[in-house]
């Protein structure tokens, strides 16, 4: 990590550009209650190339609340390094004032209280205002979308991603890469890419399984500011593991480090003066890739939903993390001369919905996309006494609620809920609408199964997921966060090898240790197995909330973490 003071010095001593995130300035302004749109968008234009980056929006068209994680554990060489820093440590690292809007936007502490002060974030019509402002300053700025765009809301589910395709076409996006897009099924993805998308769908690491040939364009060349720019797309490498392979059976993914090195050399040989990797690898995978592959100037990273107010420099590559759910948009002004990048000016722009004026044209488009579903979206299902959030390595209250619903509605001993990072937050005391439920559950394989598993099988499942999260080699970190468990507690030592991390598995309703040979009734959802049967998870959750009227989620103390 580069310190703020020395941010511009590493490898760029000749640069005339100096800049940093600007978070400290608008944080102080807002603390004085004078935060304005001009404060958020003010930027000293520099260099000759401007990039804009948004990623992991998960189909969130409207302003939302979204709490950042309390626990984000790094393992191996990245212990204590961004993005594995949260709360007070994060504020100290980036000199963020407690209670400031930067504190609210980037950390979890006092989230409910600060939400009452600063309001919702995001909203694609506010994002559009920011994009238009940047283009008014530099008309040929590139807008790059890191993927996880077509999935995550009721309207995206109902339209098979069409609402998001229409919106990002209207934003005049220049290129995108992908992950959850493929859960619409390969036929729908190809229909969109071939007939409906107005910009390149990039995937340098996507090959067909029969001929081992690329399925999508690996990169796109752009000329901006007199500079030849190569934008390489890298889709999520572990699609067939983390998501149902039967939805895209003839595709192969993977990190493909050697393939990436070859493509970087190819675009350099073709005259690229600036190489940008538009990635959905996840931050730590991109950190390792940057260390091992020379020639990449900028990695616009996605998948792990990290929001960092400063770039992270690895060798000569800058890693940029732009958050999720439309909370942020990154602006990068780059000085590219004599065939190389000489300087970088970075701003992680927070999309405060009450400060940034909506773009009227985009507001009208969003309203048109949502209109057929408005009654369904706005129906109140119940209320919550608890903050409902989903982020963190081990548990979030949204998934605790889902697990409670699975246990009661499906009459199970134990519930499993996947460690997804997507899903907007709901504040205590608020109504829970159907839209809120779908924001946490909308996906194309929602069946809530009920099955019998032995204690040994449960242990194997937890160990496999734990290795995906805590393997010290980032290239073996193949999923989201830890599977959420209801009705059962356990102890995890993250520093142990696979097969030895999980101990003291306990059935909470009896206090007895899980017997490896005994069979338990388990309910879960989002199985990657084809043919899974059961009601849709949103129906299970809706029935549970309706029956309760007002839900409350007790603090989850059932997971004991060792070695963090």
Over range 174-188, report the average pLDDT: 98
What mean pLDDT value characterizes the chain? 93
Q: Is the residue at 18 inside a domain?
A: no
- Name the band, by pLDDT with cuts 50, 70 and 90, for residue 29: low
Domain boundary among 368, 387, 405: 368
Domain boundary among 322, 341, 368: 368
Most confident region among 305-309, 474-478, 494-498 by mean pLDDT: 305-309
The pLDDT of residue 21 is above 50: no
Over range 152-158, report the average pLDDT: 98
Is 468 or 435 the better-scoring residue by pLDDT?
A: 435
Over range 290-305, report the average pLDDT: 97
Same structural domain, 399 and 279: no
- Name the band, by pLDDT with cuts 50, 70 and 90, for residue 35: confident
CB 277 within 8 A of CB 220: no
The pLDDT of residue 20 is above 80: no
pLDDT tens-digit readout, 89-138: 999 999 999 999 999 999 999 999 999 999 999 999 999 999 999 999 99
Phi, psi at 267, each rounded to 5°: -70, -35
CA 537 centroid distance within chain: 21
Give the integer Cα–Cα distance in Å for 389 and 117: 18
pLDDT of residue 479: 67
Q: How far is CA 483 from CA 17, 276, 303, 461, in A?
A: 45, 33, 17, 9
Give the integer Cα–Cα distance in Å for 209 and 187: 16
CB 232 within 8 A of CB 262: no
Give the integer Cα–Cα distance in Å for 165 and 322: 20
Same structural domain, 311 and 446: no
Q: Smallest Cα–Cα separation from 461: which of 416, 491, 492?
A: 416
Q: How far is CA 363 from CA 172, 463, 544, in A?
A: 16, 46, 34
Question: What CATH code is carried by the domain that includes residue 445?
Answer: 3.90.780.10
The pLDDT of residue 23 is above 90: no
The pLDDT of residue 18 is above 80: no
Q: Is the residue at 2 inside a domain?
A: no
DSSP label of 200 = -
Q: Is the residue at 16 inside a domain?
A: no
Q: Smallest Cα–Cα separation from 492: which of 501, 500, 484?
A: 501
pLDDT tens-digit readout, 362-403: 999 999 999 999 999 999 999 999 999 998 888 899 999 999
Q: Smallest Cα–Cα separation from 116: which of 425, 427, 389, 378?
A: 427
Same structural domain, 329 and 385: no
Same structural domain, 314 and 421: no
Residue percentage of the chain with pLDDT more than 90: 88
pLDDT tens-digit readout, 158-173: 999 999 999 999 999 9
The pLDDT of residue 16 is above 50: no
Q: Is the residue at 277 inside a domain?
A: yes
CA 480 centroid distance within chain: 10
Domain membership of residue 52 as a residue range: 23-368
Over range 454-472, report the average pLDDT: 93
Question: What CATH code is carried by the domain that includes residue 169?
Answer: 3.60.21.10
| Tally of domains within the chain | 2
What's the alpha-carbon Rg for the chain, to the nearest Å?
23
pTM of the predicted protein model: 0.94
pLDDT of residue 480: 72
The pLDDT of residue 5 is above 80: no
């Amino acid at each position: 990590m580069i310190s703020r003071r020395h941010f511009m010095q590493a490898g760029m001593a000749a640069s005339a550009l100096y800049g940093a995130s600007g978070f400290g300035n608008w944080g102080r302004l807002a603390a004085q209650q004078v935060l304005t749109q001009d404060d958020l968008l003010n930027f000293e234009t520099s260099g000759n190339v401007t990039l804009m980056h948004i990623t992991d929006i998960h189909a969130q068209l409207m302003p939302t609340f979204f709490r950042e994680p309390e626990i984000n554990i790094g393992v191996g060489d990245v212990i204590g390094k961004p993005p594995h820093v949260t709360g007070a440590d994060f504020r100290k690292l980036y000199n963020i004032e407690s209670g400031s809007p930067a504190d609210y936007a980037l950390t979890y502490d006092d989230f409910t209280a600060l939400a009452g002060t600063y309001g919702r974030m995001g909203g694609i019509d506010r994002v559009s205002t920011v994009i238009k402002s940047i283009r008014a300053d530099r008309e040929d700025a590139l807008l790059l979308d890191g993927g996880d765009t077509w999935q995550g809301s009721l309207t995206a589910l109902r339209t098979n991603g069409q609402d998001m395709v229409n919106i990002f076409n209207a934003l005049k996006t220049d290129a995108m890469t992908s992950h959850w897009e493929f859960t619409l099924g390969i036929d729908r993805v190809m229909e969109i890419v071939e007939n409906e998308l107005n910009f390149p769908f990039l995937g340098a690491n996507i090959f067909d399984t029969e001929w081992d040939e690329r399925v999508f364009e690996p990169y796109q060349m752009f000329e901006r500011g007199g500079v030849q720019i190569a934008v390489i797309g890298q889709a999520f490498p572990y699609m067939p593991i983390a998501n149902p392979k039967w939805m895209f059976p003839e595709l192969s993914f993977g990190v493909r480090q050697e393939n990436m090195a070859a493509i970087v050399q190819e675009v350099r040989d073709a005259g690229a003066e600036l190489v940008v990797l538009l990635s959905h690898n996840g931050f730590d995978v991109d950190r390792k890739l940057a260390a091992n592959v020379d020639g990449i100037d900028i990695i616009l990273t996605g998948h792990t939903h990290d929001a960092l107010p400063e770039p992270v420099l690895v060798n000569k590559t800058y890693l940029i993390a732009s958050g999720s759910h439309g909370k942020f948009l990154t602006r990068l002004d780059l000085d590219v001369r004599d065939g190389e990048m000489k300087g970088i000016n970075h701003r992680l722009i927070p999309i405060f919905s009450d400060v940034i004026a909506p773009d009227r044209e985009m507001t009208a488009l969003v309203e048109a996309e949502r209109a057929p579903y408005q009654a369904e979206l706005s129906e109140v299902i119940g209320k919550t006494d608890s903050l409902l959030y989903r982020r963190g390595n081990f548990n979030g209250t949204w998934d605790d609620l889902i697990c409670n619903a699975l246990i009661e509605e499906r009459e199970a001993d134990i519930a499993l809920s996947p460690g997804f990072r997507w899903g907007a937050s709901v504040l205590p005391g608020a109504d829970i609408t159907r839209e809120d439920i779908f924001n946490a559950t909308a996906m194309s394989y929602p069946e809530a199964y009920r099955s019998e598993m032995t204690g040994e099988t449960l242990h194997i499942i937890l160990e496999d997921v734990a290795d995906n999260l805590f393997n010290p080699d980032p290239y073996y970190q193949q999923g989201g966060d830890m599977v959420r468990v209801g009705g059962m507690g356990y102890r995890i030592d993250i520093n142990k090898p696979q097969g030895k991390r999980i101990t003291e598995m306990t059935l909470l309703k009896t206090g007895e240790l899980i017997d490896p040979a005994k069979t338990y009734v388990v309910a879960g959802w989002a199985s990657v197995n084809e043919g899974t049967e059961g009601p849709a998870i949103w129906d299970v959750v809706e029935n549970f909330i309706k029956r309760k009227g007002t839900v409350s989620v007790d603090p989850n103390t059932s997971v004991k973490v060792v070695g963090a």
